[in-house]
Homo-oligomer: A and B are copies of this chain.
Amino acid sequence: MNEELIKELIAFREERNWGQFHNPKDLAISLSLEASELLENFQWKTSEEAVSQKRADIADELADVLIYAIYLAQAMDLDIKDIVRDKMRKNEAKYPVDKAYGKMTKYTEL
Contact = CB atoms under 8 A, between A and B. Distances in A.
Contacts of A43: 26, 29-30, 33
Number of copies: 4
A46 interface: yes
Given A66-B84, A72-B62, A90-B60, A32 B38 contact: yes
Interface residues of A, number: 70
Interface in A17-70: 17-18, 20-21, 23-26, 28-47, 50-51, 55, 58-60, 62-67, 69
Interface of A: 1-2, 5, 8-9, 12, 15-18, 20-21, 23-26, 28-47, 50-51, 55, 58-60, 62-67, 69, 72-73, 76, 78, 80-81, 83-88, 90-92, 95, 97, 100-102, 104
